Structure 1
C-alpha cells in the first residue's frame, strides 16, 4: 500500500473543505438574491400604494418607544441628591455616610486628583489644572469635616492644601455599580437589537420638525443610538439638504469620496454603488482605519420601476446569534485580520486605501464594537495560511447563512425626499438591482456623521430639555 504523507492528507482535506464551501457559497448567493427581493413580509409597498398613503409623518419613534427615552435614561442624574452625614478616614480611602444611610468610599489619590478649587480646576473649561507632578499615592488628609447642612465635604491635606467637594458632585461620582450604571447610560445609550419585524415599525421623523423642534431632534438621536437607523421625510428634492440637517446634528465627515457624494448609475463607475447592480448587505468604507460612523442617503429621485429597494439588517444581532450557535466560528471572525481595500479614481482624486481588521471587532470587555463586512471592498490579498483561509470562509459563510434568513433582514423602497440614516458601525445596508432608462434616474446624495458629535448633541439636548421641564 503506498505511503501517504501527513502534508498530502492535510492538502486533500483542505481541498475537500474548499469544494464544500464553494458549493454552499453558490447556494447561499442564489438564496440571498431571492431573499433580498421586495416582498410583503419585508415591508415593501407598491408605488400606487405609497401614493395613496397619507403624507403626514408619524412622530419619531412613537410607534416603537412606549416611554420617554430621555427622561428614563437621565432621570437619575437630575433627582435630588442625598446630603452628607459624616466621614471617616481609612487606610487608602475616605468613607462617607449619606442621609439615606448609604455609604461610599473614595480613594484619597482620586480626591486629591479631582480637587475642585480654582488652583486645581478650571471650571470654564471643565478641565483639571492640577499637574501630575503634584500627585502621589501616599497623599493623606490631615482633617476631614462635613458641613453643617451636609452639602459639602471639606478636606485639609497633609501639605496644607484645602479641598471642598459638593455633596451632589461627590454622590454622582460614587464608586458603586448603580452610580456607574447611571453614568454609562449617559455616556452611551443601550442598544436594542432587531429582526425583520422592524419593517412594521420603522422609526421616522420629519425634516422640518428636526430643524425646528429640539424634542424631535433629541428623540431622533436617541433612536439612532438605540435602534441604529432612522428615516427622515420631507427634505427638498435637491442637493444640499444633508448640509442643512448637519447644522442641527453634527458636522459632515469627509472621506475619499468628498464631503458629500452622489450615488447614481455612471459609466466607468469608481464604486459598484454607482451602477444598477444589486448590492450585498455591507458596511461602507471598511477600508478606512477610521471607518465613518453614521451614513446618510438623501433620495432626490427614485427609480419608478421594480428594483432599487434598500435592504437593512442588524449585524450585531447576527453576531450574537453566531456567538451562541457557533462559538468557535465566531471566534475566528473576531481574531483573523482581513484586508479591505479601495482603489479607484473619483472626482479627479486617485486613491489606494487599505485597512487590516477582523470582521468582528470587540471591545476589551468582549462587547461587539463594530462589524466590518463588505463583499466588494474585501481585498483578494489574504495574509493567512491556506488552512486558516478555509476556516475563515467557513465562519464567514455561516454568518451569511444567518444574515440572509428572511427573519434577519427587511427591504423597503425609499421615497423621494426621504433621508435614510444608518449606524455604519452596526447596521448593514444593501440594495436590490434595477435597470435605469437614463443616467441619474435614481439619484441619492450621501454623506457621513461622527458618533462623538452626535452623542455630544444628544447629551446637551437632554440637559437642556430636562432643565426646561
Structure 2
C-alpha cells in the first residue's frame, strides 16, 4: 500500500475519526484465525492465517472454517467406481463398493431418480416422474449388481425396472465426503483476506479473456474465492463491459440502466457522480435483489492525488464482529434498516426502498452479505429509540473494525483497468479528488449475476477437464 493513498484517506474527517476509534478496538484484540484458499484451475487448498481477536476464540473459528478441499475442476479421468454387492434394508438399499466404504440409498430417493425413458428426459436433464406416482412405501422386489460392477438393477414391487450406473450412484452418495465434493461444485469456498491482499491483487488480461477459456475460468474462480479481480488492457472507450460480458456473463440492468457512467456531474443523481470521497459501501442496497457483482471500467483516471479505490472483505470483518461482540452482532443481524434511492437519471425517475438487516446470515450461520451504504441508508428507522441507540452502537463498532488499517486495501485504477468485485461480499469506497474539469475521471459501470457466473464456471470446468 503506497503512503499517498493512505494519507488521502486519513485526511478525510469522517475516516480520521473512525481510524481514531479503531485504536480502542486494537487494544482489546488478540488473534482470530480464518481459512484461506488458493485459487487454481484444478485445486483450492485450505491454509490457516492469523487475524486479530481473542486467542480463546481461535478453536471455535477454526472448527467452522477449515474444510477438506476437493478439486475445483471435476476429474473426468478418476478411477472407475465398481459395485460389489447390494442388500435390502428397512427403508434403504445398502451398497458395498469394491475397495471402499459402504453407503445407503433410500428407496424413495432411488425411485424418484429412476433414469429410464418413462421417468427421465435425458436431453432436458429433467425428471418426468409425477409426484402422484411416488410413494413412501415403495420397495424393491429384486436388486441385482452386474458382474462387472458397473450397474445396479432394481425391480420394484409393481414391476417397474430402474438401472443405475455405479459412477452415477457414487457421485450422489449420502456420505459427507461426496457431499463436500458436490458443495465445492455448487459454490467455491471463499478465502477471507486482509490488507496483505494488496501484495497479491488478482489480475487478468482483457485480451486473454477474449481468446482463452482457461483465462475466463481462472477469473471466475478468483471471483468466487477472493471476491474481486482487476482486468487490465481494455480499450479506453465505452462498450468494453459489453464485450467482456459476451465472454463471461450477462449484464444485469438496474435503475441506472444496463451500464452507467461514473463521473463528476452537475446536479448528480448519486453521490458517486461527484468527486467527494465515498465511505466503504456496497451498491444499490435499496434493491430487494441487490446486484451480485459490480464492474467498473476506468476509461480515464484523475491524474492528481485522490480517486483511489478502497476495498474491504466485509465477511472477514463480520466474522470478527461475531466473535468479539456477539450481542452487538445480533443487533446488526436482527434489526431491519431502510435503504432508499430517490432521483432522476437519464430521464428515468425512481424512488426505490428495501428493508433489510445490515448483516444477513444463512440458516447455518454463515455470512450471506453485508448491506452497508452511508449515503443509501434512509433516515426512517422503524424501531424504538432504545433500539436505535443500541443499533448505532453496534454499527459504529462494526465500522471500527472495518476501518482498521489491516482490514482494507487501497490502490489506484489505471486507464484501461476493469475492477470486478463481489457486491454481496466486498465493500468498496473512493478517496476524494478535486476534479478541475467535469468528467476528467470517467468510469463505465455495470453488474453481473452470480447464477450465470457460476453456471459459466461449471461449464468451463467440464469443458477444459474433458479436453485435457
Superposed pair shares fold, TM > 0.5: yes
Q: What is the aligned partner in structure 1 of residue 310 from structure 2? A: 311
- SS state of the match for residue 394, structure 1? helix
Q: CA shift at 1:80, angstroms?
A: 2.2
Deviation string, structure 1 residues 230-254 (Cα, Å, up to 9, x no partner): 0000000100000000001111000
- Partner of 2:337: helix, strand, or coil? strand
Q: Which residue in 1 is equivalent to 2:284? A: 285
Q: How does 1:264-343 map to 2 (within 5 A)?
A: 264-343=263-342
SS at match of 2:183: helix
SS at match of 1:69: coil
Other structure's SS at 1:344 match: strand
Cα pair 1:294 1:423 within 8 Å, conserved: yes
Cα distance, 1:69 vs structure 2:
3.3
Pair member with larger Rg:
1
CA distance in 2, matches of 1:205, 1:448: 18
* TM-score normalized with structure 1 length: 0.86
Q: Is 2:228 the partner of 1:242?
A: no
For 1:452 and 1:116, the matched residues in 2 are separated by 26
Give the corresponding residue for 1:114: 113
Deviation of 1:81 (Å)? 3.6
Root-mean-square deviation (Å): 1.9
Unaligned regions of 5+ residues in structure 2, if any? 1-11, 22-37, 45-69
Residue 364 of structure 2: aligned partner = 365
| Number of the residue aligned with 1:181 | 180
- Name the count of aligned residue pairs: 418
1:205 correspondence with 2:177: no
**C-alpha distance in 1 between matches for 2:462 and 2:204:** 22
Distance 1:227 1:296, change over 3 A: same
Q: CA deviation at 1:410?
A: 1.2
CA–CA separation in structure 1 for the residues paired with 2:440 and 2:14:
31
What's the TM-score, normalizing by structure 2?
A: 0.87
* SS class of match (2:72): helix
2:346 is matched with which residue?
347
After superposition, what is the alpha-carbon deviation per residue over 1:380-402, rounded to whole angstroms, capped at 9, x for unaligned?
00000000000000000000000
Match of 1:446 in 2: 445
1:30 offset after TM fit, Å? 2.9
Which ranges of structure 1 fall in alignment gaps of 5 or more residues? 1-25, 36-63
- What is residue 17 of structure 2 aligned with on the other side? 31
Q: Is the 8 A contact 2:264 2:273 kept in 1?
A: yes
By how many angstroms is 1:102 displaced? 1.6
Classify 1:328/1:102 alpha carbon distance in 2 versus 1 (closer, same or farther; 3 Å). Answer: same
Q: 1 CA distance for matches of 2:397 and 2:76?
A: 43
| Structure 2 Cα separation of the partners of residues 468 and 143 of structure 1 | 40
- Contact kept? 2:83, 2:98, Cα under 8 Å: yes
Q: Deviations over 1:75-103 (max 9, x none)?
A: 56752242001100011000010001421
Alignment of 1:87-236 (within 5 A): 87-236=86-235
